[in-house]
Amino acid sequence: MGQFLKFGHSMTAISFLGAVVVLWVFHQQLPSPGDALEVYAAQRQTMERIASLVLMPSLLVSLLFGMASMAAVPGFHGAPWAWAKLVTTVLMLEGSLLGIQSPNKREAARAQRALEDVEWIAELGQTMAAEQWSLIIIGFVATANVALGVWRPRFRSRARAST
């Protein structure tokens, strides 16, 4: 059972990090809404779908696999690295909802409105820098989360380690 949980957790973590990278690449390729509105709107719709269908589900399933692993493997119960992984996963969940999922959904809806009424173009692209930083920060937190699971540091204090 432990191997199944570890495999599921690893696969969903790969999916999550892959989605973050794909969204970042899409972000780098976004044209100016004023220059190519149709392309901008299509890319924003695709980004919203990636966030909704890959990013968030993989993160939620990864969280479930991780919690099941913590419950099923007695060695994980008191392991500081396992609790640190839980904390970073909660940070990734909150950051992904607030910094990636919601802005992507909002911008995709705005882009669709701009296709119907050109006056909405002025509302597009105002949060791009914040979205890019969110992707970078969440990507680093996710990488740290994976590193915690791979190296499983002991988190000993120097005073205890020297005795």
57: exposed, middle or buried (Cβ count in 10 Å: 0-12, 13-18, 19+): middle
Q: What is the pLDDT of residues 17-44, one digit of tens each?
A: 999 999 999 999 999 999 999 999 999 9
The domain locations on the chain are 2-153
The predicted pLDDT at position 92 comes to 94
Rounded CA separation 28/138 (Å) = 16
**What are all long-range contacts of 26-29, with beta carbons under 8 Å and residues at least 24 apart?**
26/50, 27/128, 27/131, 27/132, 27/135
Rounded CA separation 9/63 (Å) = 8
Rounded CA separation 27/46 (Å) = 11
Pull the structure tokens for residue 16: 């999550």
The predicted pLDDT at position 1 comes to 82
The predicted pLDDT at position 158 comes to 55
| Close Cβ partners of 135 (under 8 Å, ≥ 6 residues apart) | 20, 23, 24, 27, 99, 100
Task: List the chain pLDDT tens, one digit each, 163 residues.
Answer: 878 988 998 899 999 999 999 999 999 999 999 999 999 999 999 999 999 999 999 999 999 998 898 889 888 888 888 888 889 999 999 999 999 999 999 999 999 999 999 899 999 999 999 999 999 999 999 999 989 888 877 765 555 555 5
As a whole number, the mean pLDDT across the chain is 90
